Amino acid sequence: NFSSVVLSSVTATVISRHFLGNQPAFQIPPFDLYGISDFLYYLVFGIITAIIAWLFIKVLYKSEDLFNSIKIPEYLKPVGGGLIIGVIGLFFPQVFGVGYETIEASIAGKLIPWVIVALVFLKILATAITLGSGGSGGIFAPSLFIGALLGEAFGLLAHKVIPGMAIPPGAFALV
């Protein structure tokens, strides 16, 4: 199995670099560690992230249970899910797709604080509805999206609570 994984990874990398270029997925500004105390902030952020991850899992399973309990033909369930996602997307189009542009904007600190918090929970909801209704998708890119925006929100809040904090909010988004 290992040789198959290595071969497919190398092949995918060569093909993607040929067609997409040799740029990284995100343009990341330089971030520094300012001291050993930085790890305390990252620890607190990690605990908060674990709570939000737990919430994400619970919402995902509840959505699957909810859509399974609806007594309509299976092929109509993604239609209902798509309509709900469409309504969310009318007001917050960032929830559509993988959201790499939003992640990069978060790392660069270019998002409005209340929008950041709303997007964390709306992406959880949108992903759960998409997958629960039988739509196509995964959880890797949404997890990156949620984590980056949660990091930005935590960093902004930390700067409000601890004025003069050296760690930029974008560093938490990257973590």
Query: What size, in residues, is the chain?
Result: 175
Mean pLDDT, the chain, rounded, equals 90
Task: Look at the block and give the residue holding tokens 């290595």.
Answer: 6
Task: Look at the block and give the residue holding tokens 């899992």.
Answer: 57
- Is pLDDT of 23 > 80? no
Integer angstrom CA distances of residue 126 from 40, 105, 109, 145, 156: 32, 20, 23, 12, 24
What's the chain's Rg over C-alpha atoms? Answer: 19
Task: Report DSSP letters for 114-174, one per residue.
Answer: HHHHHHHHHHHHHHHHHHHTT-S--SHHHHHHHHHHHHHHHHHHHHHHSTT--S-HHHHHH
Reported as a single tens digit per residue, the pLDDT across 86-118 is 999 999 999 998 888 999 888 888 889 999 999
In whole angstroms, what separates CA 124 from the centre of its chain?
Answer: 8
99/111 Cα distance (integer angstroms):
13
Name the burial class of residue 22, with classes exposed (0-12), middle (13-18) and buried (19+) by CB atoms within 10 angstroms of its CB: exposed
* Two tokens, residue 129: 């509805």
When pLDDT is averaged across residues 73-96 and rounded to a whole number, the result is 94
Give pTM, 2 decimals. 0.83
- Is pLDDT of 142 > 90? yes
